[in-house]
Amino acid sequence: MSRPRIGITGVTRAREGGEITGVNANYVCAVIAAGGLPVILTPELDQASAVELFGECDALLLTGGEDVDPARYGAAPLPELGTVSAARDANELALFAEARVRDLPILGICRGIQVVNVACGGTLFQYLPTQRPGTTNHDPGGSRQQHSHDVMLEPESRLARIHGATTLQANSYHHQGIDQLGGGLLATAHAPDGLIEGVEAADSAEWLIAVQWHPEELCGNIDAEHLKLFAALVATARRAR
């Protein structure tokens, strides 16, 4: 049987006087290690082309990157707002909607959890240190492959079942987070300071999971526990083919 195709949203970056487009290789490696076939969905595609290419895919992986434009959730930008990409926002929201129409499994990571929340009508903290100061440092710096803090998983959640645990050591490097939770979502993971770190679809029949940490950076020899999330995504995509 052919491997399920996992659509992975990409980025465009300025580099050496020009631009490059693609995706962090660790997302690709995690999908391959989990048995999937990666398909990169660059934001250079217009919405129609992105959805057309995604038509060949069996699941959607929304990756990290730029801040979501606050206009998408009815807020004015703060001075601390990072880089935004109108094209990427538009593509990812369209891809998310298409995946739900087709009842495909969806996994969001970092920016991905924020896209999911905004798509469902929720709002974001644009800059945690000023809008939601707490006891947990969500952007401590240092290696992306190191544990930053624990994450508590709701005991009956899909995340807890995937990991077989209710506490997980995670990495953290983000300055935004979920404020008001979007409709049809459940908060199923939290940081020690209470910030939402994971969400799932309230409808248990829908395979939709999004997390604020970066499991793709912790897979393999660093912490194989985090490959379980990608394995669950690929297994669900395979069953849905």
Say which of 214, 217, 219, 226 is annotated catalytic: 214
Token couple for 87: 């094209």
For residue 223, CA distances in Å to 149, 170, 207 come to 14, 10, 24
How many CB atoms are closer than 10 A to CB 101? Answer: 8
Instruction: Decide if 206 is catalytic.
Output: no
Cβ contact 87:21 at 8 Å: no
Q: Is 110 a catalytic residue?
A: yes
Q: Which of 57, 92, 98, 110 is catalytic?
A: 110
Q: Would residue 216 show up in a list of annotated catalytic residues for this protein? A: yes
Q: Which residues of 121-154 are buried (b: 16+ CB within 10 A; e: fewer)?
A: ebbbbbbbeeebeeebebeeeeebeeebbebbbb
Active site residues: 110, 214, 216
